[in-house]
Amino acid sequence: MVGLSEGEKHFIRGGIAQGIRTDGRRRLQFRALSVETGVIPQANGSARVRLGATEIIASVKAELGKPNILHPDKGKVSIFVDCSPTAEPTFEGRGSEELSTELSVALQRCLLGGKSGAGAAIDLSSLIIVEGKVCWDLYIDGLVVSSDGNLLDALAAAIKVALSNTGIPKVNVSLSAASDEEPEVDVSNEEFLQFDTSSVPVIVTLTKVGQHYIVDATSEEESQMSSAVSVSVNRNGQVCGLTKRGGAGLDPSVIFDMISVAKHVSQQFIAHLDSKISAAEAAAE
């Protein structure tokens, strides 16, 4: 919890009302973004993303598994978030567990369409090897290293970057004559297929402070919010998921306006993130 005096609270709210935030940004302006790829050699893909003073490390591990009986033509993706106790004093003990669960559920909803995977923004059908028998299970881990607000957007960006860095091993399958027998799978240690991230969205959170909303809120700004709406949007401008937090209710017309703004801002952020990914990959070569 951010401890602010009444004067500091008034300064933050007054600045946002006038369109100038305490760090000099406009309402719909993100903080400086930096990207590194391949930071965890043991993972199939990994990334470090810094958004202002918020820092996230994301990793992707691919393992062979069996498709869900309800979705035999789809692979599986699991997302787990861990908040380092050193990132924020409130992350010590139960506070970290509750926030980790909240962020994991929000990412699941925004990127995978909920537990069922229906309407997933990540193409689960691309992870199938043999329908109903063998698939890839992707385990995505996000670690909050440093926290200064807007964790959900930063986590989603780090996951997108880590997936762009992910190589899925090539697989040779030997199918036996008997359809009920398990196929033999030979996984290559040398040849990899780049994971397609063209449909993977970013998340843009609009935080309502007073009568206005802002993007990429800092911890101090979040402490003054009445509510926040997080919208996941892909590069085609399609909304893939939405989640809300904060106790204050919002009029439907306000939510529709926030979605419209998020769609507009997301395209700028995706273009900026793409350029950072390209630069990081070129630096790693």
Q: How far apart are the C-alpha atoms of 1 and 223, rounded to whole Å?
A: 7
Q: What is the largest CA-CA distance in the chain?
A: 76
Which pLDDT score is estimated for 2? Answer: 61
Which pLDDT score is estimated for 122? Answer: 80
Domains for the chain: give ranges and CATH numbers: 7-284 (3.30.230.70)
- Helices marked H in the chain: 6-17, 94-112, 151-164, 219-222, 252-284
Q: How many CB atoms lie within 10 A of CB 282?
A: 8
> Which residues, at least 6 apart from 199, have a Cβ–Cβ distance to it below 8 Å?
121, 122, 123, 234, 235
Which pLDDT score is estimated for 116? Answer: 47
Q: How many CB atoms lie within 10 A of CB 14?
A: 12
pTM (whole model) above 0.85: yes
Per-residue pLDDT of the chain (285 residues; tens, 9 = 90+): 567 899 999 999 999 999 999 999 999 999 999 999 999 999 999 999 999 999 999 999 999 999 999 889 999 999 999 988 887 777 766 667 888 999 999 998 888 875 544 446 788 888 999 888 999 999 999 999 999 999 999 999 999 999 999 999 998 888 764 566 777 888 888 888 888 888 899 999 999 999 999 999 999 999 999 999 999 999 999 898 888 887 767 888 888 999 999 999 999 999 999 999 999 988 877
> Which residues, at least 6 apart from 79, have a Cβ–Cβ distance to it below 8 Å?
104, 107, 108, 111, 112, 140, 142, 159
Which pLDDT score is estimated for 66? Answer: 92
> Which residues, at least 6 apart from 243, have a Cβ–Cβ distance to it below 8 Å?
106, 109, 110, 229, 230
Q: Which of 160, 225, 193 is nearest to 13 (CA)?
A: 225
Q: How far apart are the C-alpha atoms of 279 and 273, rounded to whole Å?
A: 10
Place of tokens 């199918």: 175
